[in-house]
Chain A
């Protein structure tokens, strides 16, 4: 289902020319950016919360083994089961095994990026289970057989007309034959269709925004309430979560909850915050009979040891996507895997292999907005630069780029040579570009000038202009 990242450049070309996608991206990203800004402006403590969140995550990561063992002990104490999956494959096997033992037929799912990461739906469907995504956005892209294009709003690339087409095609057999035009009608129809599944489901699978070591709880936040219906009405509840999601206490979770909704959707708080601890208790009238947590490693424990540890602070809010000029120009599908945007450009090479996603760390202008808005202060541009450095060192960088970088390094390290080159190049470029004020074409740089013009230099070099200014001051 997922296109390989190696065809990144082709997918970008398609995305840029897709008018419908461009309209959807313009519409969405502006809204998220403005709403977040308003929330941040209304909370003077926001910066202090970011700092506390960063420190908490760093503390947990430095003692991750201890906190995971504490968490596990508390889950077990409350009657739940913890499964440790070191790879995506192992995670799929564990979940298939739970479903098999539960004699499951229908499986409902709340939105979970980890389940996308481990390719869970394909594995469950291949094993013959009926899998239903219940988050409206996830449901829409499940009908369209597409991967999510955003980690928070997975169907952000779909217009209402496209959703109407999908519903008409898939709901006809269920007796919904009228073509819908209003968003309210579509939400109502999805509500009716999905109700059936919630009550029929044998297993409900959700993600886990946070895991609490103090109590053995998993926390999910949703606006729709779909996660709650999924995990309360099924006989078996499975939580899939990355190992880095553990936090020491419920009080610590509040720090993150204050940051998450504001950063993600620009809301003060999400509608539903649910803290789940173990299965149905004695005397309870509802709730799942079994409660399982699958802790997914899939490269995270290795990430912990190197220069990318800070990436494990990520809480998957999507703010870096919404503020990224590259993401908002090409959308999520161009990135080729489940995690797009700046966080995806770091995670995808780290999880799938640095040789599998060459273009991603390079598709970045290093403008730094992602780092500025990140609720846990991940230095994303720095991590992307580190990936580029590793690509260069391991010989993944193609030779024209290597050659150009080496030539540039040789020049930039020798001030006299640099000044000499500039004194020659600037007047030449200035002369060639004088008429239009810009250069349409440059030797050896067609890849750059094919799609844009280089503004022509205005005459002297920076050094010359600086000296002239200093002289004038004297």
Chain B
């Protein structure tokens, strides 16, 4: 299907008053986009912004407390005692009676637990990368999505996420998901309703260490 390609590029160049590709290297636009300034601690800002966007959040001391908190969450919400978990969290000691499965999400999964790559303070968001240990269906298919965020993962602006991503030297993941709360819709009479298609609940375990 390259017939359209040459025709489109030729028309674009003709509209730009050129007959050939640009000669030499194209200099990027000088300067950079303004970043919203804000005061205060970025971890506190992240927590406040996520709560504003209808996520729930619990602060815990270390990874050792994750099992207990997840257990509490399942009991409060009367959720099935089965978890679909990112393999990246295989080191966590789960309560013995929980059925924990490390895989992509299936239709019947009610609750997933995932790590994140970073979290953003600016307007609130957790950032996940897809990969063999972090399938992206975990973020979208279950009713409840529990995310583990280390305080040290919180960055100020979205641009800081790209800086981290470039610094880790890995190729672009298939999917980067920035998630700012549970799924919602206002498509019927502008009435906000949580749990449109994705998770009804986004629960954050914020680890101090």
Whether a CB of chain A sits under 8 angstroms from the CB of B176 is: yes
Q: For the complex, count residues of A whose C-beta is within 8 A of B.
A: 102
Q: Are B12 and A271 in contact, with the CB atoms below 8 A? A: no
Q: Mark A70-100, 1 if CB is under 8 A from B, else 0.
A: 0000000010000111100010001001000
Whether a CB of chain A sits under 8 angstroms from the CB of B167 is: no
Query: Considering only CB atoms, which chain B residue lies closest to A257 in the complex?
Result: B158
- B170 CB to nearest A CB, Å: 11
Q: Are A248 and B29 in contact, with the CB atoms below 8 A? A: yes
Report the Cα distance A441→B95, complex, angstroms.
83
- B195 CB to nearest A CB, Å: 7
Q: Are B4 and A83 in contact, with the CB atoms below 8 A? A: yes
Q: Are B8 and A243 in contact, with the CB atoms below 8 A? A: yes
Partner of A228, one of B22, B189, B193, B198: B198
Query: Considering only CB atoms, which chain B residue lies closest to A258 in the complex?
Result: B36
Known: A160-B191, A187-B195, A198-B197. 5 other contacts (CB 8 A): A43-B36, A224-B187, A271-B182, A275-B177, A277-B173
Q: Are B188 and A305 in contact, with the CB atoms below 8 A? A: no
The stretch that binds A, out of B65-73, B75-83, B125-133, B146-154, is B125-133
Report the Cα distance A273→B33, complex, angstroms.
19
Query: Considering only CB atoms, which chain A residue lies closest to B7 in the complex?
Result: A86
By Cβ-Cβ distance, the 8 closest A-B pairs, closest first, are A225-B198, A305-B15, A255-B33, A283-B132, A224-B196, A137-B187, A84-B4, A285-B104
Most chain B CB within a 10 A radius of its CB, from A69, A85, A274: A274
Q: For the complex, count residues of B whose C-beta is within 8 A of A.
A: 76
Report the Cα distance A216→B171, complex, angstroms.
12
Whether a CB of chain A sits under 8 angstroms from the CB of B112 is: no
Residues in B lying within 8 Å of A, measured CB to CB: 1-2, 4-5, 7-9, 11-18, 21-22, 26, 28-29, 31-37, 49, 53, 103-105, 107, 123-125, 130-132, 135-137, 139-141, 157-159, 162, 171-191, 193, 195-199
User: With A136-B196, A140-B187, A269-B123 as given contacts, are A277 and B26 in contact (CB-CB < 8 Å)?
Assistant: no
Q: Which residues of A contact B157 (CB under 8 A)?
A: 254
A191-247 contacts to B, CB under 8 A, are 191, 194-195, 198-199, 215-217, 223-226, 228-229, 232-233, 243
Most chain B CB within a 10 A radius of its CB, from A48, A160, A281, A283: A281
- A453 CB to nearest B CB, Å: 35
User: With A78-B172, A83-B1, A271-B181 as given contacts, are A194 and B8 in contact (CB-CB < 8 Å)?
Assistant: no
Q: Which residues of B contact A465 (CB under 8 A)?
A: none
A-B contact count (CB 8 A): 262
Most chain A CB within a 10 A radius of its CB, from B4, B184, B196, B197: B197
Report the Cα distance A264→B182, complex, angstroms.
19
Q: Which residues of A contact B4 (CB under 8 A)?
A: 83-86, 90, 297
Report the Cα distance A339→B197, complex, angstroms.
26
Q: Are B137 and A233 in contact, with the CB atoms below 8 A? A: yes
Q: Which residues of A contact B181 (CB under 8 A)?
A: 271
A243-293 contacts to B, CB under 8 A, are 243, 248-252, 254-255, 257-258, 265, 268-281, 283-287
Q: Which residues of A contact B107 (CB under 8 A)?
A: 195, 199
Most chain A CB within a 10 A radius of its CB, from B2, B125, B131, B173: B173
Q: Which residues of A contact B197 (CB under 8 A)?
A: 134, 191, 194-195, 198, 224-226, 229
Report the Cα distance A271→B188, complex, angstroms.
17
- A205 CB to nearest B CB, Å: 16
Report the Cα distance A304→B17, complex, angstroms.
10
- B89 CB to nearest A CB, Å: 15
Q: Are A65 and B196 in contact, with the CB atoms below 8 A? A: no
- A300 CB to nearest B CB, Å: 9
